[in-house]
Amino acid sequence: MTEKVLTSGDISEIEKAYQHFPLRSAACIEGLKIIQKNHRWVSDDAVKELAELLEMSPAAIDSIATYYSLIFRKPVGRHVIMVCDSVSCWIMGYEGILNHLKNRLNIGYGETTQEDRFTLLSICCLGTCDHAPAIMINNDLHRDLTPDKLDAILETYK
């Protein structure tokens, strides 16, 4: 027997989630979120275990997991940097921020720095266009960015 990915904690959280829905399968997105919250990303094994829990097929789960852009089906670092690349940030020069990040961290989109510290991703309009350019690191929004400010911010994520 290989070791299970989902802990009993995950399972009880997921079980609680599907009480909110008339159908168990409706909790699929909740389930994926819970797994990602607790494990950073959703592995193939996690997909299978969630499928079993929700009485769905792994294919049905993965159909959803691969559809949504914020479910990570590949490992990510401890901190996920999401750079807004939508129109207002583009006008306000997000590319400067992005290039600065790439150079500093020495990674491109979809890549993770050594020791799993940062993963760099793009994200659609963060809804803070009056403070463009903006990025999100984990759950934190950083706005009105300049390359200098960015360096200080990165330092706070170890």
Partner 1 sequence: MYPINDNIEKPLTQHIKNDGSWLTLKEYESTGGYQALKKALQMKPAEIIQVVLDSGLKGRGGAGFPTGKKWSTIDISENASSIKYLVANADEMEPGSFKDRFLLEGNPHQLIEGIIIGAYAIQASFSYIFLRWAYHLAGKALTQSIQEAYDAGYLGKNIGGSGFNLDMSLHISVGRYMCGEETALLNALEGKRSNPRAKPPYPSNSGLFGKPTIVNNVETLSNVPHIIMKGANWFMNLSKTGEGGTKLYGASGKVKSPGLWELPLGISLRELLEDYAGGMADGYRFKGVLPGGGSTDFLVEEHLDVAMDYASVAKAGSRLGTGTIIVLDDKTCPVGMVHNLERFFAQESCGWCTPCREGLPWTAKILYALETGAGKTEDLNILEFHTHYMAPGNTFCALAPGAMEPLQSALKYFKADFEMHIHQHKCPWNS
Partner 2 sequence: MMAKIFIDDKPYEVDGSKNLLETALSIGLNLPYFCWHPAMHSVGACRQCAIIKYKDDDDKKGKLVMACMEPVADNLHISIEAPEAHAFRAGNVEALMTNHPHDCPVCDEGGECHLQDMTVMTGHNERRYCYTKRTHNNQYLGPFVNHEMNRCIQCYRCVRFYKDYAGGKDLDVFAAHNDVYFGRQEEGVLESEFSGNLVEVCPTGVFTDKTLKKHYTRKWDLTNAPSVCHQCSLGCNIIASERYGTIRRVLSRFNGDVNGYFLCDRGRFGYEYINSKNRIITPARLVNGSFAAITAGDAVQEIKAIINTENNTIGIGSPKASMESNFLLRELVGPANFYAGVPAREGKLIRQVIAILDNGKVKTPSLSEAKTYDAVFILGEDLTNTAPMLALSLRQAAKNEPNEIARAVKIPDWNDAATREAVQGATGPFFIAAAHDTKLDDIATGIYHASPDQIAGFGNAVAGNINRQLNFVAADAEIEKLSDTISAALLAAKKPLIVAGTSLYNEAIVQAAANIAYALKDRGKDAGLIYILPEANSIGSALLADQYLEDAFAQASPKEAKSVIILENDLYQRMDKTATDTFLQYFTNVISLDYLENATTRNSTLLLPAGTFAEADGTIISNEGRAQRFYQVHVPKNDVRSSWKWLAELMAAYDSSPINLDAVIDRLTAAFPALQAIQYVAPSAGFREDTQKIPRSPQRYSGRTAINADMHVSEPRPPADPDSALSYTMEGYVGIPPPALTPFYWSPGWNSAQAINKYQIEVGGELHGGNPGKRLFEPDPNSKAAYFNSTPSACSPKEGQYMVLPLYHIFGSDELSAQSPAVAERVPQPYIALNDSDAGKAGIVEGAIIEILLSGNKKWLPVKLKMGLPQGTAGLPKGLQETAGIIYPFYTTIKIAGND
Contact residues: partner 2, CB under 8 A: 22-23, 44, 47, 57-63, 66-67, 69
Q: What tokens appear for 9 in the block?
A: 């904690």
Structure tokens at 69: 């852009």
Rounded to whole angstroms, how far apart are CA atoms 155 and 158?
7
Q: Would you tell me how many other CB atoms lie within 10 Å of the CB of residue 54?
A: 22
In the complex, the smallest distance separating the C-beta of residue 90 from partner 1, rounded to whole angstroms, is 4
Instruction: Candidates 90-98, 102-110, 111-119, 147-155: pick the segment binding partner 1 (CB under 8 A).
Output: 90-98
Of the ranges 8-16, 111-119, 130-138, 148-156, which one interacts with partner 1 (CB under 8 A)?
130-138
Residue 107 binds partner 1, judged by CB under 8 A: no
User: At residue 73, what is the residue type?
Assistant: R
The site partner of 62 among partner 1, partner 2, none (C-beta below 5 to 8 Å per kind) is partner 2
Instruction: Say which entry of partner 1, partner 2, none residue 44 contacts (CB below 5 to 8 A, set by partner kind).
Output: partner 2
Tokens 């009105």, residue located: 144
Alpha-carbon gap, residue 98 to 92, rounded angstroms = 12
Write the single-letter amino acid at 91: I
Residue 57 contact, options partner 2, partner 1, none, Cβ 5-8 Å cut-off depending on partner type: partner 2
